[in-house]
Structure 1
């Protein structure tokens, strides 16, 4: 109720559905919530620069990285990583970031050194910036991966200890 005694209108179903599609505030404030949009934007800009340049052969890398960053943004925002436990999300994200950083670095060097047009040079510069962003992401993801693997080992150790305790009970009599 508001201050005048009238009940507040209930939110419309369309507004509630739209709210469910938007990522939560805590995800947007996290490292992943900041890095994935930056990766997507840099990949898209690099893709556009490669299309406009004579180095169009390199356009596939930023396009694929853009699509993967957008997919992972929505996967993490909608908490698919919590629903699909069969995929090792930190490992797959770590491998994506490592390969993206290495490949972006290589094609950026090639674009800057081999091609002379301005769009290729711009693509190379944005590629170097994307290399740094992906390197930061794989450093943070590596720390998450180590934590994830330590959690997996501790639960496996506990299960192994329980099975050893069960087997040793029958021998003590």
Structure 2
């Protein structure tokens, strides 16, 4: 008898992937991964390929958070505050992309791949900043939904 559970195990993953990419957070994370990959390619073709470290780190972190949120592992591992961790990941990514991209665009005379990587990096910085803003709105709304004790009923 053939084991039929092995072939069916991939179907829920693909369905989760398709449904998660259609959400706002999934679209943002997928765009971050794609932009980081494009930036890695641009910086790899450049004379100064050292700037690709930021893109590699941010792409790996975006992939990790994409998988965690897609598979709903954030609900299983409640020890980590995933919302705040994602907030710090996005804000650090935005800051690092803007800084390195400005350096590449300003000092990249004669190196088209470096300038292209810098331009895509500025776009990625804006995307990471938008991700930071959406996460901030979720943090703010989650704080308003929790009732705070006023001490008047004591």
Q: Distance in 2 between matches of 1:25 and 1:52?
A: 32
Q: Which residue of 2 aligns with 1:36?
A: 29
Gaps of 5+ in 2: none
Gaps of 5+ in 1: 1-11, 169-173
Work out whether residues 97 and 121 of structure 2, in 8 Å CA contact, stay in contact via their aligned partners in 1.
Answer: yes
Q: What secondary structure is seen at the aligned counterpart in 1 of 2:79? A: coil
> Which has the greater radius of gyration?
1
Q: What secondary structure is seen at the aligned counterpart in 1 of 2:9? A: helix
From 57, 61, 65, the counterpart of 1:68: 61
Q: Which residue of 1 aligns with 2:127?
A: 133
Q: Which residue of 2 aligns with 1:18?
A: 10
Q: Which residue of 2 aligns with 1:87?
A: 80
> How does 1:136-147 map onto structure 2 within 5 Å?
136-147=130-141
Q: Distance in 2 between matches of 1:42 and 1:26?
A: 21
Q: TM-score, normalised by structure 1?
A: 0.78
Aligned Cα root-mean-square deviation (Å): 2.0
Q: Structure 1 stretches (4+) deviating beyond 3 angstroms?
A: none
Q: TM-score, normalised by structure 2?
A: 0.86
